[in-house]
């Protein structure tokens, strides 16, 4: 995964008023933390950040005006409840070669065996540990030929090289269920006289 370069500024004022002003200036307030460093409060360019966050677990190189560059991943993204615009982001500092734990989307491919069976998704994402600069965007699972009663567990997932599970391998991820039989129409009660 390549890194996205964004510009940022250190924040010197705090509170709702300064955060609102930053958003009016097309900036998104955030906090950078990790590796025992003191937290850095920053404002990041909003449009570039919004585009970058379309990629799950994106690796961001923040060029902080007057304070150097930090390699980070977004850890928590807060959005406005109605507008759905980004209102604040917490960033975690990462180093090249360092392992991080992230949630990765599970994507299915193929078709189930004939018979009207249905696929039940029990987990949409799976927690994995991967090198910060090689975080997979998704884990693909083949469901070709699965039949009713078949279950795919976390340990059955084929993970990219260098990636390991960060959860119990016995967690069920997907299962195939048989179609529900329709209940017979209720018999009419009472008799005609």
Asked if 64 and 42 count as a contact pair (C-beta separation under 8 A), the reply is yes
pTM over 0.75: no
DSSP codes of every residue in 141-158? EE-TT--TT-EEEGGGS-
pLDDT in tens, 67-80: 888 899 998 888 88
Q: Give the neighbor-by-neighbor strand order of the sheet with 138-142.
A: 138-142, 99-109, 125-131, 164-165
Query: pLDDT averaged over consecutive 10-residue blocks of the chain (193 residues)?
Result: 84 80 85 87 90 87 87 88 86 88 90 82 92 87 88 92 91 89 56 53
CA–CA dist 181, 193 (Å, integer): 35
Euclidean distance between CA atoms 32 and 13, whole angstroms: 16
């Amino acid at each position: 995964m390549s890194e996205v370069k964004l510009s940022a500024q250190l924040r010197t004022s705090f509170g709702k008023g300064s955060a609102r002003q930053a958003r009016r200036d097309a900036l998104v307030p955030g906090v950078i933390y990790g590796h025992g460093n003191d937290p850095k409060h920053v404002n990041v360019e909003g449009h570039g950040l919004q585009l970058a966050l379309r990629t799950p677990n994106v690796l961001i190189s923040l060029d902080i005006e007057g304070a150097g560059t930090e390699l980070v991943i977004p850890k928590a993204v807060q959005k406005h409840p109605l507008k759905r615009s980004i209102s604040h982001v917490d960033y975690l500092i990462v180093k090249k070669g360092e392992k991080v734990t992230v949630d990765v989307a599970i994507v299915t491919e193929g078709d189930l065996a004939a018979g009207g069976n249905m696929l039940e998704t029990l987990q949409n994402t799976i927690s994995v540990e991967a090198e910060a600069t090689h975080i997979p965007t998704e884990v693909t699972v083949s469901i070709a030929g699965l039949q009713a009663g078949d279950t795919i567990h976390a340990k059955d997932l084929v993970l990219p090289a260098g990636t390991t599970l960060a959860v119990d391998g016995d967690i069920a991820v997907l299962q195939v269920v048989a179609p529900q039989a329709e209940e017979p129409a209720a018999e009419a009660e009472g008799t005609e006289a």
